[in-house]
A and B are shown apart, each in its own frame.
Chain A
Amino acid sequence: MQTGSVSPGSGRSSAHTWALKPVFSARTVGLVILVLLVLAYSAHRMQLDDLVGRLAGMAVNAATSESGDAAADPGEGVLERMFPLAIAERTPIDRIADFDPEDLPLFAHLETAPEEVSTLDPDTLQMTTRTVEKTVLVKPAGYLVLVIRKIIETIEIALWASLIAVVMSLPLAWLSARNYSPHWLSYVTARSGVSFLRAVPELISALFLVLAFGFGPIAGILALALHSAGFLGKFYAEDIEAADKRPQEAMRAMGAGSFATLRLAVLPQVLPSYAALTLYVLDRNVRMATVIGLVGAGGIGQELKGRFDMFQYDRVGTILLVIFITVLLLDQLAAHVRRKLL
């Protein structure tokens, strides 16, 4: 190694004639242009150019503070009508069966409030409006408590769905990991099963499951669990396939079978990633559980849909705020658990 001279070996071209590969080839550039053209066409089809015009118009309106004709826009005013948020629950006592004024619920009090009642005057056959004093039972945080109870139900749905999904997807992941599936047939079957589970949206399967199991949490749990199992099965399997091969090879060299190798050389590697995926699925299931409530599969979504249809936007506002806070808190919790595990 003391020769120091860089002698050109046989069949080598000298270095100054070398051509280095360009970073972007003509093919890449052409492909990017093609993709941009397709996107432009698609944007036109999706009326995105129209959206830009409308947004600009709204911005101009806001700047000139001209309210315009509010009636033309059905979405106008919903936001204003959400405030103040509905926190209390007011129930006229004549609507409560066996009401006992001596035995009020905790923190509740009675209020008398004038209420306008329209009745048909039998003599004139005209609607007359008169004011009557009505006693209402006011629970100061009554509605909030109801919403919180509903959101807990929603979280329970998400928890059970995630739990069932994990239990279902572990064997699915083993069968659909290319390097551990016992047979190519089991691999293909498991892969397509996982894809099918993932392909059916929760909302659609929830519609069918509500038909099968009736309104309530069971349909929601099953719909979420099936979809999540498809999701987790795919990503668990991909983690197994991507795991570091060296510890697995060491186990194989010691004569270990698939199970021992998976348990001792693969599982410890993929566990943090599994935990992160599972937490993500739990977080997603909480959000999805509110959505599938819309089709009657239990939880806060059912309440939300009811209030929305009755134009009680102050209650809708409360529900949305509680959902937002819940997702935020769960996100913090998930981040904390992930930090502990990694």
Chain B
Amino acid sequence: MRTTTPLYIHNRPGDLPHETLRVYEATKTFTTGPAALDKVSFGLKAGEFTVLLGPSGSGKSTLLRAAIGLVRLTSGTIKVSVERGIAPEKRKRPAIGMVHQDGSLSDRLTAAQNVLSAMAPQMGWLRVLFQAYPKHLQDKACRLLDRVGLTEDQANRPVRELSGGQRQRVGIARALMNDPTLILADEPVASLDPATARKVMLLLRETAREFGATVLCSLHQIELACELADRILLLRQGQLIFDGAASDMSPRSLAGLFEQDSAGRPFDLVGG
């Protein structure tokens, strides 16, 4: 589970990018099975809220994991631009926040400790060992937890004692902790009920906007995607088959695309 060489570029100071993320012909093949990603190319404009739609196994997770360096692409490049954040030249990687599926928090640490763990890569080992973060970071974590709707009591409770929705809120706060320009979210609401899922997604969109972060969020709920996204990317069997504004397509026609196989036939009950 070692991370691969990051495929990131740092912008020169003052060089404002139009694109926060540029994916160029990203291809990933595993030893068995068809390509998980097949020459996927797109760019994300700064501040966009983009939803990556697709059925299970369509390559959404692989794409997001490649963008953060957890998966090495077979070919192609992914570039992430950084224009702000705490001393980017000191970072090993640009400020990307990631919201994972449920289960990515250390569930015996408190909510606040989880949020602060985002700063651990920049801390010395003694601070990490005793989880002794500087006061201004602690204050920042408290502000973020307050912003995502947790109370002081909940902030000091082990994460495993929180509900699924609260845990994802903590995940969002953790992703925001290191002032990201880009937030990648991998099915952040997959384990939540529809009402809670909608609230958490709204929170993600609002907070990302406040912090000026670009978001690429994978989902499989079409209605939620149409409601919230500025732009929708639809992946199917590793290929990008739709890229456009959410208003360009009705949820019905998107659902039609969603439920087709690569030959354009609708999936039947035993297929897929």
Q: Do A and B bind each other?
A: yes
- Please tell me if the beta carbons of A3 and B269 are within 8 angstroms of each other in the complex: yes
- Please tell me if the beta carbons of B259 and A1 are within 8 angstroms of each other in the complex: yes
CA distance A3 to B113 in the complex (A): 51
Instruction: Say yes or no: is A264 at the interface (Cβ < 8 Å to chain B).
Output: yes
Within 8 A of B (CB), among A254-281: 254-257, 259-260, 263-265, 268-269, 271
Would you give the shortest CB distance from A177 to chain B, in whole angstroms? Answer: 12
* Other-chain contact of A179, B1, B3, B91 (Cβ < 8 Å): B1
Q: In the complex, which of the residues B100, B121, B267 has the most CB atoms of chain A within 10 Å of its own CB atom?
A: B121
Q: In the complex, which of the residues A5, A255, A260, A265 has the most CB atoms of chain B within 10 Å of its own CB atom?
A: A255
Would you give the shortest CB distance from B67 to chain A, in whole angstroms? Answer: 10
- Please tell me if the beta carbons of A260 and B121 are within 8 angstroms of each other in the complex: yes
Flag A119-145 by CB within 8 Å of B: 1 or 0 each: 000000000000000000000000000
Instruction: Say yes or no: is A250 at the interface (Cβ < 8 Å to chain B).
Output: yes
Count of chain B residues with Cβ under 8 Å from any Cβ of A?
38
- B-binding segment of A151-159, A239-247, A309-317: A239-247
- Please tell me if the beta carbons of B103 and A244 are within 8 angstroms of each other in the complex: yes
Return chain A residues, CB-CB under 8 Å to B96.
253
CA distance A160 to B79 in the complex (A): 55
Within 8 A of A (CB), among B244-272: 259, 267-271
Known contacts A179-B1, A253-B98, A254-B178; A259 and B121 CB within 8 A of each other: no
Return chain A residues, CB-CB under 8 Å to B196.
none
Return chain B residues, CB-CB under 8 Å to A245.
1
* Other-chain contact of A254, B118, B125, B268, B271 (Cβ < 8 Å): B118
- Please tell me if the beta carbons of A3 and B121 are within 8 angstroms of each other in the complex: no
- Please tell me if the beta carbons of A7 and B104 are within 8 angstroms of each other in the complex: no
- Please tell me if the beta carbons of B268 and A264 are within 8 angstroms of each other in the complex: no
Flag B1-35 by CB within 8 Å of A: 1 or 0 each: 11100000000000000000000000000000000
CA distance A259 to B271 in the complex (A): 46
Instruction: Say yes or no: is A115 at the interface (Cβ < 8 Å to chain B).
Output: no
The number of residue pairs between A and B whose CB atoms lie closer than 8 Å in the complex comes to 95
CA distance A28 to B123 in the complex (A): 54
- Please tell me if the beta carbons of B93 and A255 are within 8 angstroms of each other in the complex: yes
CA distance A269 to B105 in the complex (A): 11
- Please tell me if the beta carbons of A250 and B104 are within 8 angstroms of each other in the complex: yes
Return chain A residues, CB-CB under 8 Å to B178.
254
- Please tell me if the beta carbons of B268 and A7 are within 8 angstroms of each other in the complex: yes
Return chain B residues, CB-CB under 8 Å to A252.
1-3, 70
Instruction: Say yes or no: is B69 at the interface (Cβ < 8 Å to chain A).
Output: yes
Chain A residue with the shortest CB-CB distance to B130: A263
Instruction: Say yes or no: is A326 at the interface (Cβ < 8 Å to chain B).
Output: no
Instruction: Say yes or no: is B46 at the interface (Cβ < 8 Å to chain A).
Output: no
Instruction: Say yes or no: is B136 at the interface (Cβ < 8 Å to chain A).
Output: no
* Other-chain contact of B69, A6, A9, A253, A260 (Cβ < 8 Å): A253
Within 8 A of B (CB), among A149-181: 179
Instruction: Say yes or no: is B151 at the interface (Cβ < 8 Å to chain A).
Output: no
Flag A1-43 by CB within 8 Å of B: 1 or 0 each: 1011111110010000000000000000000000000000000
- Please tell me if the beta carbons of A264 and B128 are within 8 angstroms of each other in the complex: yes
A-B contact pairs, 28 of them (CB 8 A): A3-B269, A5-B268, A6-B270, A8-B270, A9-B271, A179-B1, A245-B1, A246-B104, A247-B103, A247-B105, A247-B107, A250-B98, A251-B120, A252-B2, A253-B68, A253-B98, A253-B100, A254-B178, A255-B92, A255-B93, A255-B121, A257-B121, A260-B121, A260-B125, A263-B129, A264-B106, A268-B106, A268-B109
